Amino acid sequence: MPTTSVPSSQLQDSEKNEKQLDTDGVERFKPTSDDDACFKLWNMYISQAHEYDKALLEGWKGDMEGMLLFSALYSATLTALIVESYKKLQLEPADLTTSLLTTISLQLASISNGTATVFEPPDTSFKPMASSLICNMLWFLSLALALTCSLLATFVQQWTRDFLHKTTMRPSPVVQARVLAFSYFGLQRFGMHTFVDVIPILLHISLFFFFAGLVAFLLPVSLPLTILMTCVLFIFVLVYSALTLHPLLSLDTPYRTPLSDLLWRLGNALALRKHGLSGDLSLTEAMIEKSLHKSPERDGRCMEFTMKLLDHDTELVPMFEAVSEAIISFGTTSGVRLANFGIVAPLIQSPNPENNMISRIHNFISASGSLAGDPQHRARTMQLCLYTLYTLACLVIRHGKESVWSDYGQYPVFWFQRDLLELLSSSPSLPKGYLISTIAALRTSRVQGFRRCIEWMSKALSSSKANTERLAEVRSIFSNLSREDIDWTSEKFTHHFDQLGSTLQNACMSGMTETDAAALVQQVQEDIAQLMDMSRWKAALISVLSQFLSEAADAALVPFEMDMVLTLIYSIMPEIPESKVFDQSLDIEEDEAQATYLLQSTSTDPESVSPELFTLVFRLLFSTKRALHYTGAVKSRLVLYKYLNNSTSEQRKLLIESDSACRSTQECIFLDLSSDGAGDLARWCISGGVQEVYYGIGFFKSTVSPRLLSFAKGIFRLIPTASTNFTQYRWWFLQSTNTERILCKDIINKLENLSRGHDISNSHDISSIIIPTMDDIHALGQRLLPKTPVLECPLPCPPNVYQHWITEIRDYVFSMHLLIATKYINIMNTSFQNVLDGDWDNIRHSTTTYQGHIYELAQLEFAKSIMELMSLRPWNQPEKSSKSKLFDYLWRLSTNWCWVTDVKSAKILAEAIQLHKNDAKFNGIVWYEQACLDRCMEVIQRAGAVEEPVSQ
């Protein structure tokens, strides 16, 4: 993030102002370097606090403006009524005049009649009626409260403006933050929230006084009007009370009055907790907290409402993206957010096509050809559609796995209908990588749904209900399935499914006795048991997996989220994990096994079919016992060998690094070596099979792994019985030598371990090591040194005898080792390729460090091979040629050939070196060539040779 900085001029001005002294000479606050270091921290506080304060003060301001307007209108209306009502509190002059005129009229009438009338002065005393007194008291109180509310509202508006001014007048974030905190906490301390809440309460009380005074005002005027207004007042009080209490009972109500907060706080003070909430929360905080509690029903209604508003399919694209993000979770083991299932489920199980997202995606893809705009944008949109379907399938599958025994009426059997799969399969223009994964996920979901339906029927049969009721329930569940839902090949499964349908059809007959129903229940149980057979469901999984891998191989790409899709396929049935899918112990029928025969039609180009994909295709082939013996098995093995031959070392490693794939490959090779190897089979079995497996499982390593040793021993046993189709192939001799080299390297390593000093007093323990090693030495010696006897281990024996035996047996083994190196040299002497075959790095190490005795036969064969190589003038060949490389490599091996003791061999080696030195294009001695020559001459001279084969 970029660092926020304050202009230097502003900082200088600020510091200058903050250094000023007040009138008493006290230095004012100025930020320190520590304060400045909290610049961003205080900025974060200010940004959050300002948002809160702004919302709070704007709310107060709006409320006060409304109250000012209402109280002004209300006061004007009330004043007009008071002008009339207060007159009834005093004697009216008009009433006195009327009384005097009445008296005068009476006197005139008496005079005319000749009678005498006594004059009585009018009564000027006055006492207002109780109703008038009450009316005026209530209305004057009401007016006073209304005017008070207006004044207080004006105060609140002034205080809020003052608050905002104080908290924003200083530019420094540190100062501004401290002022803001000081002011806000003071606002809390002196109860301004309560003060603001009291203002509308006073206005509401004023309104109550008005209605009560209105009743008293009408009482002397008209009784019916009084009764009417009394009813209005009662209704008003009743409604107001309901509005006050309603939010205390239901926090989601939109109604409330100022008294609601007071009653809520009173309840908190009395520890009357409701709605499952804890803590001293205000009513507003309680409403917010309650709304955050998850409600799948409410969430689902929100999603349905959203879908209803999306009238046009083109408006759905953001919805697709939002749903995908709500579902997928790359950081969890399941890969999806199961907690969000309740939000998404209403979108995909709604019977209304307009509210069903899957239906809307179906329509969207159907109309994709008519979409206008950029083709790339259209492709991205289709990709998003497929991705949304894929994530929905993942969610449904994972949820189905977690809720195995849920009520079968709660969720659909099939979330994704057949017509959607048909649409996707017939739409080649869709993004292929996403399409392949999506179809596999949808098919997996349908297989899971079918399987769960069978489980529900089995569960219904195991209930304690009457036979007829159980049959009716099974028939109800079965009605969700049809034969078209079996989208994998299985004659046996289809037969039992049809038989179950016929049995349930017979169960519909009226008048069926309980005995007949019991017989039908038994038959249904037998059919369901056949449908529940794990082999049938392994066939279903293999079918889904086969289509997935086949389409990926044909499209020459790695499908989107391939590992995730495979995990989904393996996970839908816990009884058949990945190991069971590829385990031959759970076998399937012949027609079901057809889905495993993909290898014979798979490309042999690693650039088209990745090693990960090819490995799955190959493992699928060996998921049944028919892998090596079905029609076309030879063709499948040829595809395997060619693919291995075309692979790089890294690709080959990925292909055969798993135990199952390696074992299956070895099984293919052993089978072919035991056959006649007709056609191209022998050539590819040797060059693409044996060789590549050797290289892939560690041929060039200094140690021999158990896997490599086991495979080499298997090849070693089959070498003598191999047909001429193998032995006449020019690379047969190389693979035979590689096999011998592996066995010899393993023996050398074991002898090194035995020579380091074991406790030979415990003959049982050391024999467990020596006996298998001696078996290997005997087997290899019969091939390389058949006429030389092997010295047996003399255990139990003294330590010196044991060490002597170790020395002699190592001489025997290293003699075989030199013969193997000789074979490599002979192979290269006749080779026309530029590749240096053989394990020369490890040969060099063991040859140069050995100080013992090598048998004369091995020395002589080695010297002859060197002479044959030197006769080809390798130093005159291109630098990168195989013979030039071997020539250079061999003299690196001759660092300390102290084992050269045979005179005949020494003469041949010396002659070979002289051949190089006497060449017209001799450019000088190489590596340790001279040291070897000196060693040979020493051997010859010590033997007293008469002729000098080398001119010095």
pLDDT for 357-388, tens place per residue? 899 899 888 887 655 567 788 888 899 999 99
Q: Return the percent helix, strand and coil in the chain, to nearest 5.
A: 70, 0, 30
Query: Which one of 190, 217, 244 terminates a domain?
Result: 217
| 58 and 178 both lie in a single domain | yes
Show the tokens assigned to 593: 């096994």
DSSP 8-state secondary structure symbol assigned to residue 721:
G
The predicted model gives 443-465 an average pLDDT of 91
Spatial distance between the Cα atoms of 826 and 695, rounded to a whole number of angstroms: 21
| 436 and 410 both lie in a single domain | yes
DSSP string, 440-486: HHHHHHHHHHHHHHHHHHHHHHTSSS-HHHHHHHHHHHHTT--GGG-
Nearest CA to 209 among 86, 87, 78, 96?
A: 78
Nearest CA to 462 among 411, 532, 538?
A: 532
- Do residues 164 and 184 lie in contact, with contact meaning Cβ atoms separated by under 8 Å? no
Q: Is residue 606 part of a domain?
A: no
pLDDT for 676-720, tens place per residue? 888 888 999 998 899 999 988 888 888 999 999 999 999 999 999
| 858 and 914 both lie in a single domain | yes
Spatial distance between the Cα atoms of 828 and 731, rounded to a whole number of angstroms: 11
Which of the listed ranges 214-228, 309-323, 552-566 does the model predict with the highest average pLDDT? 552-566
**pLDDT over threshold 50, residue 93:** yes
Spatial distance between the Cα atoms of 531 and 456, rounded to a whole number of angstroms: 12
**pLDDT over threshold 80, residue 859:** yes
Give pLDDT, residue 338: 85
| 138 and 241 both lie in a single domain | no
Q: Left, alpha or beta for 698 (phi > 0: left; psi -120 to 50: alpha)?
A: left
Q: Is residue 827 part of a domain?
A: yes
pLDDT for 921-942, tens place per residue? 777 777 677 888 888 888 888 8
Q: Is residue 139 part of a domain?
A: yes
- The one-letter amino acid at 640: L
| 266 and 311 both lie in a single domain | no
Which residues are CB-contacts of 196 (< 8 A; sequence separation ≥ 6)?
60, 63, 156
Count Cα neighbours of 845 within 13 Å in the Cβ-side half-sphere: 10
Spatial distance between the Cα atoms of 122 and 109, rounded to a whole number of angstroms: 18
Query: Which one of 504, 531, 558 terminates a domain?
Result: 531
Report which of residues 143 and 777 the model is more confident about: 777
Spatial distance between the Cα atoms of 678 and 198, rounded to a whole number of angstroms: 103
Show the tokens assigned to 80: 């007009």
Which residues are CB-contacts of 522 (< 8 A; sequence separation ≥ 6)?
none
The angle formed by the CA atoms of residues 137, 140 and 146, to the nearest 5 degrees, is 140
230-234, 302-306, 758-762: which has the minimum mean pLDDT? 758-762
Query: Which one of 480, 509, 531 terminates a domain?
Result: 531
Q: In total, how many domains does the chain have? A: 4
pLDDT for 9-53, tens place per residue? 443 444 444 444 444 444 555 555 555 555 555 565 556 666 666
| 186 and 212 both lie in a single domain | yes
Residue with tokens 């046996």: 492
**pLDDT over threshold 90, residue 596:** yes
Report which of residues 81 and 579 the model is more confident about: 579
Q: Give residue 5's pLDDT band: very low, low, confident or very high (50, 70, 90).
A: very low
Give pLDDT, residue 240: 77
Q: Is residue 15 part of a domain?
A: no
| 251 and 184 both lie in a single domain | no
**pLDDT over threshold 50, residue 513:** yes
| 429 and 459 both lie in a single domain | yes
Computed over every residue of the chain, the mean pLDDT equals 80
User: What burial class does residue 557 get, using C-beta atoms within 10 Å of its C-beta: 0-12 exposed, 13-18 middle, 19+ buried?
Assistant: middle
Q: Is residue 5 part of a domain?
A: no
| 227 and 362 both lie in a single domain | no
Spatial distance between the Cα atoms of 647 and 654, rounded to a whole number of angstroms: 10
* Range of the structural domain that residue 467 is part of: 306-531
| 68 and 185 both lie in a single domain | yes
CA distances from 8 to 12, 238, 269, 620 (A): 6, 65, 53, 72
Spatial distance between the Cα atoms of 303 and 309, rounded to a whole number of angstroms: 10
- At residue 246, the 3 state secondary structure works out as helix
Q: Give residue 7's pLDDT band: very low, low, confident or very high (50, 70, 90).
A: very low
Percent of the chain with pLDDT over 70: 80
Show the tokens assigned to 120: 């009585």
The terminus-to-terminus CA distance of the chain in angstroms comes to 79
| 205 and 240 both lie in a single domain | no
Give pLDDT, residue 123: 56
pLDDT for 533-586, tens place per residue? 999 999 999 999 999 999 999 998 989 889 899 988 988 888 888 878 888 888
120-134, 193-207, 770-784: which has the minimum mean pLDDT? 120-134
Spatial distance between the Cα atoms of 302 and 300, rounded to a whole number of angstroms: 5
CA distances from 407 to 297, 399, 400 (A): 18, 13, 11
Q: Which helix (H) or strand (E) holds 156?
A: helix 130-168
- At residue 336, the 3 state secondary structure works out as strand
Give pLDDT, residue 30: 59
Q: Is residue 605 part of a domain?
A: no
| 213 and 255 both lie in a single domain | no
User: What burial class does residue 578 get, using C-beta atoms within 10 Å of its C-beta: 0-12 exposed, 13-18 middle, 19+ buried?
Assistant: middle
Report which of residues 342 and 952 the model is more confident about: 342
